[in-house]
C-alpha cells in the first residue's frame, strides 16, 4: 500500500505526537514529580536546619544569662537572697535620696526550678530621687526585677512623693527543684520551639 504525501505527513505527525506522549508519561512526568519531591525535601531540611540553629543560639544566649545570673549574685539560699536585696535596696535608696520607710518580704513561690522572693518597699523623696532609684534597680547586677511602681504626691504642688515598689528576686530551689541539666534544657527548648510552630 502506497501512502500519499498527505497521509505520510499525517502518519509522521501522529507518530511524533505519540512519541511525545510516551516521553511525557515515561520520562518528563516522573522527573518533574521527583524534582518536586527533592525541592520539598530541600525546603524541609532547610527549615529543620534553621530551627536547629535557632535552638543552638537560644541555648548560647541562655548560657550567657545563666553565667550573668551566677556572676551577679544568684544565691542558693533564700535568706541570703533576701538579705542581699534588703541591703542593696537600702544602699541604693540612700544614694538616690529616697528615704526608705519600709521594706517587707512577701510570700515566696517556686517557679521553673527557682524560688521567687517578693518584696514590697515604700519610700519618700523627690521625682529625681525616685528616678535615680528606679535606674539603680533596673541596671543592677543582682537578679532583681521591678514588678510594679506607684508614685503618689504627699503634698499638693510640692515635689514630695511616696514611692511604692513591688520587687522580686530569685534563689535556686532546694535539691528537689534544681534547674534542669543542659541536656534537659535543650530538650525542653526543642519542645517549646515545636509547640510554637503548632
State residue 77 phi and psi, 5-degree precision: -115, 130
Mean pLDDT by 10 residues, the chain (198 residues): 73 82 80 84 89 87 73 72 89 94 86 84 94 92 89 86 91 55 43 47
Whether pTM exceeds 0.75? no
Q: What is the pLDDT of residue 166?
A: 94
Q: Report which of 125, 186, 121 is spatially closest to residue 155, judged by C-alpha positions.
A: 125
Q: What is the pLDDT of residue 66?
A: 66
Amino acid at each position: 500500500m502506497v501512502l500519499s504525501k498527505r497521509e505520510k505527513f499525517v502518519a509522521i505527525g501522529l507518530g511524533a505526537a505519540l512519541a511525545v506522549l510516551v516521553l511525557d508519561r515515561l520520562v518528563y512526568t516522573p522527573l518533574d514529580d521527583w524534582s518536586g519531591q527533592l525541592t520539598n525535601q530541600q525546603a524541609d531540611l532547610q527549615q529543620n536546619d534553621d530551627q536547629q540553629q535557632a535552638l543552638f543560639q537560644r541555648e548560647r544566649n541562655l548560657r550567657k544569662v545563666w553565667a550573668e545570673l551566677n556572676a551577679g549574685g544568684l544565691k542558693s539560699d533564700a535568706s541570703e537572697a533576701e538579705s542581699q536585696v534588703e541591703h542593696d535596696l537600702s544602699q541604693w535608696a540612700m544614694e538616690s535620696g529616697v528615704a526608705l520607710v519600709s521594706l517587707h518580704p512577701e510570700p515566696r513561690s517556686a517557679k521553673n526550678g527557682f524560688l521567687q522572693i517578693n518584696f514590697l518597699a515604700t519610700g519618700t523623696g523627690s521625682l529625681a530621687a525616685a528616678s535615680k532609684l528606679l535606674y539603680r534597680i533596673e541596671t543592677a547586677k543582682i537578679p532583681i526585677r521591678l514588678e510594679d511602681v506607684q508614685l503618689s504626691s504627699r503634698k499638693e504642688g510640692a515635689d514630695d512623693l511616696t514611692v511604692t515598689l513591688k520587687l522580686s528576686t530569685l534563689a535556686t530551689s532546694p535539691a528537689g527543684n534544681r534547674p534542669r541539666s543542659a541536656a534537659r534544657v535543650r530538650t525542653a527548648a526543642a519542645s517549646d520551639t515545636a509547640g510554637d510552630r503548632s
